[in-house]
Amino acid sequence: MTTVTRFAPSPTGLLHIGNIRTALHNWLIARKARLSGEGGRFLLRIDDTDAARSREDYVEAIRADLAWLGLHPDGEERQSARFALYEREFARLVAEGRVYRCYETAQELDLKRKVALGRGLPPIYDRAALSLSEADHAAKAAAGEAPHWRFKLDHDTPIAWVDGIRGPQHFDPRQMSDPVIRRADGSWLYMLPSVIDDIDMGVTQVLRGEDHVTNTAVQVQMFTALGATPPAFAHEALLVGAEGKLSKRLGSLGLAELREQGIEPEALIALLARLGTSDPVDPALGVDELAASFDLARFGRAPARFDETELMRLNGAILHHLPFARVTAQLPEGIDEAVWQAIRPNLATLAEATVWWQVINGPIEAPLPDADTAAYLAQAAQAAAALDWAAEPWQQLTATLKAATGRKGKDLFLPLRLALTGVAHGPEMATLLPLIGREEALARLARAAG
């Protein structure tokens, strides 16, 4: 059977790191199924039933974020284009008495809740509206009162599912309120359209955040009421910050900010694919390897820690692996494959490539040496001019100078590095020197010698 997953954001804001993790995991599940030959599809479903809060620019931002990560959906659907289907399915539930009309105002419901709590009872909707007669409904209609609708939970069927992450789950429907599914103005709440869509789109696996666990309990009954078998459900633990607490920052941390910090999509994917498991994060793994080894059973129920410092470190490790072809378009003009190979071990972000490119290409500003060092550099300039630049010039240069001056270690190397690059650290001089080139290197040494 083909595995079908979906990512179903409401376009009422930008994606944050938690949503992105959910999207990635759903993508990985579908990808894994596809790689195994079973067949897998990953759908993007825009949950835009809330016309007042949904925005087109958010829809575009969601698409752009997924594209930047390389999480291309195999199909895209929008709930706002599917109202006719919801009406049809709703009509079936009306005919079967699985949804019912209610008129309580928010204040009345609030009062009912307080009374129940005051009596030490759970604040569950009392189903008062179920005892209204047709005449009562007619009178409400005549008075211009439109009903909202609730889904009638089946009190005689306990709710149970085996959660892919949380294990066996049990809910007693008698301890739950019949959920409102449709407002008095006819608009839909999230719960029912989602189930109708999951059935219609053949979704086999619903993976989402654990804030949806109680929704799932209700939705399990909705699947059954609509004559469908519920999909496999799994709920991921929430993300917390590095300090282990629920973090406001993570609730708003999106791709734009991470991109600005120089985070590459590969780094984010490598980290998020493993976040919530105790498996090590491995910068060397590509997406298909991450997909092949993705397993919900590896995920724990404890909150998953998202550590931005770890992400930054991982970003460096990832950059050190990236092939030239992957980064060509983002590099400054003039950087060729040899330069990329030389500088990538020193990068924490791709933007730093510009800095090293200038070190190679010039102009550089070298610090002023003292008299002793200046004399040494003059000697170096002479030696450099006499080298065979076709064969490991740095090794030749340092060997020559070592023999001629008796300098060694830092005294031998550092003045040369400073004169040739302007900075005290950086990529291997043996790699840099041929890239700087004979003419430019001689000029830099001569200039530094004064």
- By CB under 6 A, name the binding residues for ligand GLU: 8-10, 47, 190, 194, 208, 212
* Of residues 64 and 404, the one with the C-beta less far from ligand GLU: 64
Closest separation in Å from C-beta 74 to ligand GLU: 17
* Of residues 6 and 150, the one with the C-beta less far from ligand GLU: 6
Closest separation in Å from C-beta 124 to ligand GLU: 23
* Of residues 5 and 247, the one with the C-beta less far from ligand GLU: 5
| Burial class of residue 256 (count of CB atoms within 10 Å of its CB; 0-12, 13-18, 19+) | middle
Closest separation in Å from C-beta 213 to ligand GLU: 12
- The closest of 167, 166, 230, 169 to 204, measured between CA atoms, is 230
Closest separation in Å from C-beta 299 to ligand GLU: 16
* Of residues 46 and 433, the one with the C-beta less far from ligand GLU: 46
* Of residues 132 and 201, the one with the C-beta less far from ligand GLU: 201
Instruction: Give CA–CA dist 29/146, Å, rounded.
Output: 43
* Of residues 9 and 164, the one with the C-beta less far from ligand GLU: 9
* Of residues 208 and 407, the one with the C-beta less far from ligand GLU: 208
Instruction: Give CA–CA dist 347/315, Å, rounded.
Output: 9
* Of residues 216 and 346, the one with the C-beta less far from ligand GLU: 216
Closest separation in Å from C-beta 211 to ligand GLU: 8
Closest separation in Å from C-beta 88 to ligand GLU: 21
* Of residues 169 and 396, the one with the C-beta less far from ligand GLU: 169
Closest separation in Å from C-beta 128 to ligand GLU: 29
Give the residue closest to ligand GLU by C-beta.
47
Residues 6+ apart with CB under 8 A from 83: 188
Closest separation in Å from C-beta 279 to ligand GLU: 24
Closest separation in Å from C-beta 206 to ligand GLU: 6
* Of residues 207 and 384, the one with the C-beta less far from ligand GLU: 207
- Is the torsion defined by CA of 354, 360, 364, 370 positive or negative? positive
* Of residues 113 and 212, the one with the C-beta less far from ligand GLU: 212
Closest separation in Å from C-beta 313 to ligand GLU: 31
Closest separation in Å from C-beta 245 to ligand GLU: 22
Dihedral over alpha carbons 18, 21, 22, 23 (to 10 degrees): 120
SS (H, E, C) the chain: CCEEEEECCCCCCCCCHHHHHHHHHHHHHHHHHHHCCCCEEEEEEECCCCCCCCCHHHHHHHHHHHHHHCCCCCEEEEHHHCHHHHHHHHHHHHHCCCEEEECCCHHHHHHHHHHHHHCCCCCCCCCHHHHCCHHHHHHHHHCCCCCEEEECCCCCCCEEEEECCCEEEEECHHHCCCCEEECCCCCECCHHHHHHHHHHCCCCEEEEEHHHHHHHHHHHHHHHHCCCCCCEEEEECCEEECCCCCCHHHHHCCHHHHHHCCCCHHHHHHHHHHECECCCCCCCCCHHHHHHCCCHHHECCCCEEECHHHHHHHHHHHHCCCCHHHHHHHCCCCCCHHHHHHHHHHCCCHHHHHHHHHHHHCCCCCCCCCHHHHHHHHHHHHHHHCCCCCCCHHHHHHHHHHHHHCCCHHHHHHHHHHHHHCCCCCCCHHHHHHHHCHHHHHHHHHHHHC
